[in-house]
Amino acid sequence: MMELADKSRCFQCHDLTTKISGPAWIEVAKRYRGRPDMVEPLVKKVKDGGFGAWGTEVMSPNKRVKEDDIRTLVKWILTLE
């Protein structure tokens, strides 16, 4: 998964355990743990971008990353502990 995340340029704004401009993925996992209903809304947010869920930082849209790759990464992130 790390290779896919790197190829998708996720690490420009995110890290596993440390907040960069976006939240640490471990924090995302904690917030949405046990919420399979959040996979598709998170895929949409990653694809289309957004703001407000984690403060004032804006998440840029990721239109060049395939939706299936985004879904794979989101599902993986939600398994982190």
Q: Domain containing 53 — which CATH number?
A: 1.10.760.10
Smallest CA-to-CA distance from 26 within 35, 39, 17 is with 17
On the CB side of 77, CA atoms within 13 Å amount to 29
pLDDT tens per residue across all 81 residues of the chain: 999 999 999 999 999 999 999 999 999 999 999 999 999 999 999 999 999 999 898 999 999 999 999 999 999 999 999
Its pTM stands at: 0.93
Domain count, the chain: 1
Containing domain of residue 55, as a range? 2-77
Q: Which residues contact 29 (CB under 8 A, 6 or more apart)?
A: 77, 78, 79, 80, 81
C-beta of residue 68 within 8 angstroms of C-beta of residue 43: no
